[in-house]
């Protein structure tokens, strides 16, 4: 089938015949009005590729919105540029991109998945045969081997079941959402603290890591596939996750596994970086060998039946090899040197505070706390820091003042109420200036492709599989 002619497009026949609301400049892709997902910077629609006769995902962003955030603009450009250079069966496929100067939109086309994200799929079908999990795991690993073997190597940095997409009728999964991916480009390590806390390897917090962080995240994904439990579901905030990760304590879900082979396989993914298996090595693991056993064999037990003294305890020291400067209560209690710096995520009005504490002479520990400039107050976050980090030599009010100063530096519009009984910091919102306000557009992140099943679910503050709420979602993740 040939794309429609320019005359046909101009005449409006395309809209009348197929019901498009717009087409790309060549007329090959037609967009429908059906929205599949929406984020702060981007909306995803159902579309049709007339040349190949297939449905695709039409990703569209308003140029004025993207230009308000240099980070989001860089993310979008990086994702499109990277996707256009990749070609693998386990990586989401990119088709085309263009700018519509008339409507001032940036558009790009990716393949569309009929069953949504892997997390959504697992919610709909929680009882999955372990053989299916093994097939998914192999496909994901093949994708990681391809990314890590790319020249230069590519690190996904935010691998999770939310970013893995499913064609249920084919049993096919693919890695998507490469907006946070990084190319090593001759360097041996990446340095940004970025990703989703529950899936972040301990060395990420130390700001020096390589592609093995994806292996760690992959292990957490498999854990979620086998148990239907979100990693570190037992934690209520990122600080608790940080303490567990950097002290070598794996999620409670890990202890619910009863299949020794599955536990060993995931354990290889979650070891310290120096002993962690690569994606290529994991493909050879006995756990991924498919046996001709049609019976369903769930690999998890009731949460009450927790295994004790197993793989995690025996490997705790290996697990924190690159995070050996994590604070313990005694060292934090003696800390006098504390600095607080922040970074803004313009997508959801969240500031991520980086707290540096001197735990030993010449050593600093980095801890990250999210701060929502709409809902949080410096005193609330300070109290959380004192509680979670067992800080004994500083008053919450003193830490709150440090936080307030940093927020004022980042967001000059913040002002402190003159209430002695409770410190509250309100954001000054000028109604007339909303159109130019970088923090006015509030919405949840979405995938770079669309979920047909029921759109893209919001991840901000909501953990879909039995997880508790906390503000933060993806650390420093400029998702649009």
Distance (Å, whole) CA 219 – CA 189:
21
Q: Identify which of 89, 100, 99 has the alpha carbon closest to the alpha carbon of residue 167.
A: 89
DSSP secondary structure letter of residue 271: S
Using CA atoms, how far apart are residues 465 and 233, in angstroms rounded to an integer? 8
User: In the annotation, is 177 catalytic?
Assistant: yes
List the beta bridge partners of residue 366: 356
In terms of Cα–Cα distance, which of 80, 112, 100 is closest to 22?
Answer: 100
Name the helix (H) or strand (E) containing 426. strand 425-427
Q: Which of 49, 65, 158, 177 is labelled catalytic?
A: 177
- Among candidates 159, 179, 202, 432, which has minimal Cα distance to 317? 202
Contacts 24+ apart (CB under 8 A), 329-333: 329/390, 331/359, 331/360, 332/357, 332/359, 332/365, 332/389, 332/390, 332/391, 332/392, 333/390, 333/391, 333/392, 333/393
Structure tokens at 52: 């190949």
Active-site annotation, residues: 177
């Amino acid at each position: 089938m040939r794309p429609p002619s320019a005359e046909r497009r101009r005449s409006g026949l395309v809209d009348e015949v197929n019901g498009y609301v717009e087409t790309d400049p060549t007329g090959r892709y037609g967009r429908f009005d059906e929205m599949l997902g929406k984020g702060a910077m981007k909306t995803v629609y159902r579309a049709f590729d007339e040349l190949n006769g297939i449905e695709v995902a039409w990703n569209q962003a308003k140029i004025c919105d993207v230009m308000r955030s240099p980070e989001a603009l860089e993310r979008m450009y990086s994702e499109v540029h990277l996707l256009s250079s990749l070609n693998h069966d386990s990586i989401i496929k990119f088709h085309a991109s263009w700018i519509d100067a008339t409507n001032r939109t940036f558009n790009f086309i990716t393949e569309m998945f009929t069953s949504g994200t892997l997390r959504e799929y697992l919610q709909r079908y929680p009882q999955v045969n372990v053989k299916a999990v093994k097939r998914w795991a192999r496909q994901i690993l093949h994708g990681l081997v391809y990314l890590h073997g790319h020249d230069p190597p590519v690190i996904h940095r935010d691998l999770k079941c939310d970013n893995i997409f499913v064609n249920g009728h084919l049993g096919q999964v693919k890695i998507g959402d490469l907006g946070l991916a990084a190319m090593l480009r001759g360097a041996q390590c990446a340095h940004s603290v970025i990703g989703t806390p529950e899936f972040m390897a301990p060395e990420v917090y130390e700001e020096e890591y390589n592609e093995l962080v994806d292996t760690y995240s992959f292990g957490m994904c498999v854990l979620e596939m086998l148990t239907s439990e979100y990693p570190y579901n037992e934690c209520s905030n990122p600080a608790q996750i940080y303490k567990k990760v950097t002290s070598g304590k794996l999620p409670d879900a890990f202890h619910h596994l009863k299949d020794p082979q599955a536990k060993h396989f995931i354990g290889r993914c979650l070891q310290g970086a120096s002993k962690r298996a690569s994606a290529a090595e994991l493909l050879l693991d006995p756990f991924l060998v498919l046996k001709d056993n049609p019976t369903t064999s769930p690999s998890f037990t009731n949460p009450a039946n927790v295994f004790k003294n197993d793989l995690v305890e025996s490997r705790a020291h290996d697990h924190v090899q690159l995070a050996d400067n994590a604070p313990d209560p005694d060292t934090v209690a003696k800390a006098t040197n504390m600095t607080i710096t922040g970074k803004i995520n313009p997508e959801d009005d969240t500031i991520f505070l980086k707290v540096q504490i001197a735990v030993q002479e010449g050593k600093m520990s980095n801890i990250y706390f999210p701060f929502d400039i709409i809902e949080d107050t410096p005193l609330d976050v300070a109290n959380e820091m004192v509680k979670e980090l067992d800080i004994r030599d500083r008053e919450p009010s003193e830490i709150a003042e440090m936080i307030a100063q940093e927020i004022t530096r980042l967001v000059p519009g913040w002002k402190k109420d003159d209430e002695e009984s409770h410190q509250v910091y309100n954001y000054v919102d000028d109604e007339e200036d909303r159109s130019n306000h970088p923090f006015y557009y509030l919405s949840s992140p979405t995938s770079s492709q669309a979920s047909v099943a029921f759109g893209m679910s919001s991840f901000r503050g909501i953990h879909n599989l039995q997880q508790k709420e906390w503000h933060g979602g993806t650390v420093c993740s400029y998702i649009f």
